[in-house]
Chains A and B, each alone.
Chain A
Amino acid sequence: MNSIAGHKSGLTWAVHISVLLLVGLWIFPTVGLLVSSFRTADQISSSGWWRAMFPTEQNLTLRTATPDTQVKIGDLYVIEGNLFEVKAGKSAAISAWGVTSREIDAYKSGDQAELRKGGLLTVQSDGSYRLESDTEISGKRGPRVFVTAVVPPEFTLKNYETILISGNATDNMAKAFINTLTVTIPATIIPILIAAFAAYALAWMEFPGRALLIAAIVGLLVVPLQLALIPLLKVHNEIGIGKGYLGAWMAHTGFGLPLAIYLLRNYMIGIPRDIIENARVDGATDFQIFIRIVLPLSFPALASFAIFQFLWTWNDLLVALVFLIDSTGETTVMTKQIVEMLGTRGGNWEILATSAFVSISVPLVVFFAMQKYLVRGLLAGSVK
C-alpha cells in the first residue's frame, strides 16, 4: 500500500509542476510586454526583458565635461569629473573602455590612454576620470569615451508619459484612447436594450413563426461579418452617414445582436414559469412583466453580454477600419494606431510595448473584475 500512496503523491507533484509550467508559458509573453514597457530603449535593445531584474552589461557612449571647464595645474591643463555626471542619473561599474568606436574595450579601468588629439585620459571603474594635456584642450565638447559598464536594473515611467501625454502625433495615444472609448460605450449599451425586448418576445410570448425566428438567429450567430463590409459601406454612403462614429455604432449593434438575443433568450427561458403566469393573472401587461420582473432577474445574462460586447468592440480592428476611420485619421482607434506603429516603428519596442499595454489594460481590468459573468456567459452561449 505504501508504494501506491507514494505513487499518488508523486502524481500530485507532477500535476502541480505541470500547471505551474503551463501558467508560466501562458503569461510569459504578456509579462514580457509589461516589463518592456517600463524599460528605456537602451535597456530593451541591450538585453532581454527577462534580465531586467538583474544588472546588465551595456555599451555606453559618454563624454567628458566640456573644455571650458579645464583648469591649469602647474604646466598641465586638466579636466576632471565623473563620466556619469554628464548623462545624469546613472551610476555603474566600468569594466572596459576605449576612445575610438573601433576599439571600445581597449583599456581596463585605471588604465591610461592617449587621445588622438593629444592628451592623456584615465578612467576609474566608478566613472571618475582625469584628462590632462600639456597644451590647452580645444573644441566645443569633451572627447567621447566608450565604456562597457554593468548597469543596475532601472525602470522608468517615461514611456507612459510619451504615450499618454507628451508624445508627437504618431506616438501619442491619448486621442485614440478617447476615440476607442467613444466607440465602445454606445456600441455596448444600445444592443443590450434592443436585444432584451426581442429575447423576451422569443422566450415568453406566443406567436406564429417563433421557432423559425430562433433558428434564424442561431444561424446568424456564425455569419462572418466579412460579408457585411461592402454592402453596408454602400448603404452607409447612400443614407449619408459615410464613415464615422454613427456608422461604427450601428455596425457593432447589428453584429452584436445575434449573440445578445441568443444569450438573453436562453437565460430568460430559465425564469420560473410561475412567476410570469402569476403576474399575468394579477393583470400585469407584457410590458410591465418585462420591465418589473424579467429585466431585473436577467441581470447576470445582461452583464455577461455587456462584457462580451465591450471586449469585442474595444479590441476590434476590422469594423473600425471599414466603417469608422476616414482619410483624415481624426477618428483613429488604438488598435489601428498600434498596427501603424508596427509598420513604422517596428524596432522601437519601448513605444510599441507601452502603447500595446495601454490598449490592453482596460480590457484586462474588466476581465479580472467581472470574470464570473464572462465565464457564465460563455457557458450559456456555447454548451446549450
Chain B
Amino acid sequence: MHPALQGILTIAFGVGGCVGYFYLSNIILDHAIFPARGTHIARNIRRANIVRPWLFLLPALLALGLYLAYPVFETLRLSLTERVPGGGSVFVGLDNYKQMLGEDKFWEALQNNFLWLLVVPAGATAFGLLAAQLTDRIAWGNLAKSLIFMPMAISFVGAAVIWKLVYDARPPGAEQIGVLNAIYIYYGGDEAQQWLTIPFWNSFFLMAVLIWIQTGFAMVILSAALRGVPEDTIEAAIVDGANPFQIFFRIKMPQIMGTIVVVWTTITIVVLKVFDIVFAMTNGQWQTQVLANYMFDKLFRANDWGVGSASAMVIMLLVSPILIWNVYNARKEMR
C-alpha cells in the first residue's frame, strides 16, 4: 500500500477511532450502565460522573504510561541486565555501570555535556535577553524578533548543514567558501582551519549552533517578561536619575529573575538531550562526544543494550533535579 494512502487511512482510523471511542463510551455509560431514569436516577447520575473523567483520560493515560512511564522502569531494569546470546537476559547488578565508568569515551561525553550545560543556557539566555531588551522600543522590533526567532523552525540537521558551510575549509591557495575561514584568512591567518577537528574548541563551534537556535526562544519569553515589568518602577528610577544600564540591571533584571530561571532550565533540558547536532556534524569524533550520542552509539552501533541503558539512566539522573523542581512548583501553584 502506498504510504500516503496508509497515512490518510491512519488519520481516518486514528481520528475516527478517537471520536468514536469518546462518543460511544459516553453513550454506553449514560444509557446502558447508569441510565438517568428509573428508580435510582440520582445514584446513577452520580456514579456516571465518577466514571466519566476516567473515560476522558483513558487513551492519554495508556499512551503516557506505555511511552513515557514504563520505559523509565524498563530502562532501569535493562541497565542492570546483560543480554545473553540466543535471547533472554541475566541480572548483572552494576556491571554495566562499572564498564561504562571505565570507558574514556563516557568521561569525555560527560565532560562535554557539562561544558554544554555551562555555555549554551548562559549564551542563549544572554543573547535572548540582549535581543529582547534592544528590540523592545524600536519600530521594526517585531520584524527583528521574528528573524532572530526563525532558527527555532529549522531542524537540528538543517542547522548542521548551515553551520558546516560556515565552518567549511578549503586547501591552502584556494578561495575560502566558509565565512569563518574567509574572515580568519582576511585578518592574517595563514592557513584555513578545520574548525570541527580542533579538540576542545570544536565543542564550542557545535554549541554555537544550539545557541543560535535557542536564542529566539529565550528572546520571546524574556521579551514578554520585560513588557510585564511595571512602568512606575522604571519611571521612578528615571526620576531618580538612573541611566539606561542601571535601569536594566538594577530595576528590570531583578523583576524578571523568575522568568530567566525558567528559560535557563528549559534550555538546560534541551542541552541534556542534544543529539542531532553532534550526530550530523562530527558524530562524536575529535572529542566532541556527548551523552545522548554516546548512548545512541552504544545502543545501535555497539548493540550493547546494558551500557546504553546505563548511560540513558545517567541522562535521566541529570534531568531529575529539574523534574522535581518543576513538579514542586506546579503543585505549589495549584494550591
A residues neighboring B (CB under 8 Å): 11, 15-16, 18-19, 22-23, 26-30, 32-33, 36, 44-50, 178-179, 181-182, 185-186, 189-190, 193-195, 197-198, 200-202, 205-207, 210-211, 213-232, 234-235, 245-246, 249-251, 253-255, 257-258, 261, 285-287, 290, 311, 314-318, 321-322, 331, 335, 338-339, 342, 349, 352-353, 356, 359-360, 363-364, 366-368, 371, 374-375, 378-379, 382-384
Whether A228 pairs with B67 at a CB distance below 8 angstroms is yes
Interface status of B153 (Cβ within 8 A of chain A): yes
- What are 11 A-to-B residue pairs whose CB atoms are below 8 Å? A28-B179, A45-B170, A193-B19, A211-B334, A226-B273, A229-B299, A230-B308, A335-B276, A360-B153, A360-B155, A375-B149
Instruction: Determine the distance from Cα of A234 to Cα of B19 in the docked complex, in whole angstroms.
Output: 29
Whether B327 pairs with A219 at a CB distance below 8 angstroms is yes
Chain B: interface size category? 35 or more
User: Shortest Cβ distance from A197 into chain B, in angstroms?
Assistant: 4
Whether B152 pairs with A367 at a CB distance below 8 angstroms is yes
Interface status of B229 (Cβ within 8 A of chain A): no
Q: Which residues of A contact B68 (CB under 8 A)?
A: 220, 223, 228, 254-255, 257-258
User: Shortest Cβ distance from B21 into chain A, in angstroms?
Assistant: 9
When C-beta atoms are compared, the residue in chain B nearest to A346 turns out to be B164
Closest 6 CB pairs of A and B: A254-B67, A315-B155, A198-B60, A367-B153, A231-B74, A201-B56
Contact residues, B135-151 vs A (CB, 8 A) = 135, 137-138, 140-141, 144, 146-151
Whether A231 pairs with B70 at a CB distance below 8 angstroms is yes
* Residue from the set A18, A19, A375 with the largest chain B CB neighbour count within 10 Å: A19
Q: Which residues of B contact A342 (CB under 8 A)?
A: 160-161, 164, 280-281
Whether A19 pairs with B56 at a CB distance below 8 angstroms is no
Q: Which residues of A contact B300 (CB under 8 A)?
A: 321-322
Whether A228 pairs with B157 at a CB distance below 8 angstroms is no
Interface status of B72 (Cβ within 8 A of chain A): yes
Other-chain residue from A213, A349, A383 in contact with B224 (beta carbon distance below 8 A): A383
Interface status of B52 (Cβ within 8 A of chain A): yes
Q: Chain A contact residues: over half helix, strand or loop, or mixed?
A: helix
Q: Which residues of B contact A317 (CB under 8 A)?
A: 155-157, 275-276, 279-280
Interface status of B32 (Cβ within 8 A of chain A): no
Instruction: Determine the distance from Cα of A375 to Cα of B146 in the docked complex, in whole angstroms.
Output: 10
Contact residues, B54-71 vs A (CB, 8 A) = 54, 56-57, 59-61, 63-64, 66-71
Contact residues, B67-84 vs A (CB, 8 A) = 67-72, 74-75, 78
User: Shortest Cβ distance from A44 into chain B, in angstroms?
Assistant: 6
Whether A193 pairs with B15 at a CB distance below 8 angstroms is yes
